[in-house]
Amino acid sequence: MTTVDNLLLKIVNFTDPSIESQLTSRDSKVLRNLASSIVDKIFITENQSKLLIKILKENSKKLSKFSEDIENVLLNPTWSRNFREIVQIHKLYLGKNQEDEIVIVIESTFNSEIRQILNGLMKKGDNVLATPHTKRYTADLTEKNIELLVETLSPYNFDIDEKIKSHYEIIKTWKREDFVNQFKLTTITNSNFQKCITDDLGLTTNIDQNIINDRSIRYQYFVDTPKNPGENLTEYIANRPATKVWVDKNQHSLSEIISSLIQLKRLPILVVFDTLINNKYLENLRILSESLEQNKIEDHVGVYFRLPNDEHGKKFNQFIAEKKYNYLLDNTTKIACVQSGKLPKFFLKNAWRPMSVIALDSRMGMRHGKTAVYSNNCDCILEWSDEPPLDDKRIKS
Q: What is the pLDDT of residues 227-269, one digit of tens each?
A: 666 679 999 999 988 898 899 999 999 999 999 999 999 999 9
Same domain for 8 and 71, yes or no, is yes
Q: Read off the pLDDT of residues 344-354 as tens digits, 9 standing for 90 and up.
A: 999 999 999 99
Cα 304 from Cα 99, distance rounded (Å): 23
Same domain for 279 and 367, yes or no, is yes
Asked if 254 contacts 272 with a C-beta cutoff of 8 angstroms, the reply is: no
Task: Look up the CATH number of the domain holding residue 107.
Answer: 3.30.780
Query: Is 325 within the bounds of a domain?
Result: yes
Number of domain units in the chain: 3
Helix, strand, or coil (residue 174): coil
Query: Is 318 within the bounds of a domain?
Result: yes
Q: Read off the pLDDT of residues 172-209 as tens digits, 9 standing for 90 and up.
A: 998 877 777 666 666 666 667 666 776 676 656 666 78
Question: 200, exposed or middle or buried, with CB in 10 Å at 0-12, 13-18, 19+?
Answer: middle
Same domain for 35 and 111, yes or no, is no
Same domain for 287 and 360, yes or no, is yes
Same domain for 10 and 130, yes or no, is no
Same domain for 368 and 287, yes or no, is yes
Same domain for 376 and 267, yes or no, is yes
Task: Look up the CATH number of the domain holding residue 357.
Answer: 3.40.50
Q: Read off the pLDDT of residues 41-88 as tens digits, 9 standing for 90 and up.
A: 789 988 899 999 999 999 999 998 999 999 999 999 999 999 988 777
Same domain for 169 and 279, yes or no, is no
Same domain for 272 and 368, yes or no, is yes
Asked if 269 contacts 356 with a C-beta cutoff of 8 angstroms, the reply is: yes
Element (H, E) at 338: strand 335-339
Same domain for 30 and 135, yes or no, is no
Query: Is 209 within the bounds of a domain?
Result: no
Same domain for 299 and 163, yes or no, is no
Highest-confidence range of 272-281, 327-336, 368-377, by mean pLDDT? 327-336
Q: Read off the pLDDT of residues 83-140 as tens digits, 9 standing for 90 and up.
A: 988 777 889 999 988 778 899 999 888 777 888 888 888 888 888 887 766 678 888 9
Query: Is 394 within the bounds of a domain?
Result: no
Please give the residue range of the domain that contains residue 343: 240-385
Q: Which of 127, 153, 174 is the endpoint of a domain?
A: 174
- The mean predicted confidence, pLDDT, of the chain is 86
Same domain for 55 and 157, yes or no, is no
